[in-house]
């Protein structure tokens, strides 16, 4: 199965892309498109485009941004206006150091929001999380 990878205000793109591919390949997931977004509007456009092509969109970056461009802030705005999406569709994943990521499901589609750090991505995408993602995308 294919997924789209969207880098949002990300810096360690090459390292994160490589690590994500290594983690996702064993459960049969491989990238379809790899794009970047530098604003919330551009991110929204890329997510909409991605979910037209694939059932999974992976967003890397933006979770540590201190202003209105912060990915968590942008996603919370989406929850407030998008029909069918609510906080019950969201699952928080985290690292021991406190970094957070999110899994957001709506029917048979999923958005995976991860920090811009390959080691944190690996820690967050533990066996249980990968099993959950694989199960929900089937």
CB 63 within 8 Å of CB 16: no
For 2-137, CATH gives 3.40.980.10
What pLDDT was estimated at residue 28? 94
What pLDDT was estimated at residue 79? 64
pLDDT, mean of each 10-residue run, the chain (138 residues) = 94 94 95 94 89 94 82 74 63 90 88 95 93 90
What pLDDT was estimated at residue 15? 96
What pLDDT was estimated at residue 74? 81
As beta bridge partners, residue 109 has: 106
From CA 103, how far away is CA 129, in angstroms rounded?
Answer: 9
| Global pTM value | 0.90
From CA 130, how far away is CA 28, in angstroms rounded?
Answer: 11
Sorted by sequence, the CB contacts under 8 Å of residue 68 that are 6+ apart come out as 40, 74
CB 65 within 8 Å of CB 37: no
């Amino acid at each position: 199965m294919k997924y789209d990878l969207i880098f949002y205000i990300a810096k360690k793109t090459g390292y994160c892309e490589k690590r994500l591919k290594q983690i996702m390949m064993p459960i049969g997931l491989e990238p379809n498109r790899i794009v970047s977004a530098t604003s919330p509007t551009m991110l929204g456009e890329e997510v909409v485009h991605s979910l037209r092509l694939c059932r999974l969109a992976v967003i890397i970056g933006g979770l540590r941004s201190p202003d209105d461009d912060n990915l968590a802030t942008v996603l919370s705005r989406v929850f407030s206006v998008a029909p069918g999406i609510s906080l019950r569709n969201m699952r928080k994943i985290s690292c021991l150091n406190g970094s957070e990521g999110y899994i957001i499901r709506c029917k048979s589609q999923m958005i995976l929001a991860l920090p811009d750090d390959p080691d944190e991505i690996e820690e967050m995408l533990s066996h249980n999380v990968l099993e959950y993602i694989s199960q929900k995308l089937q």
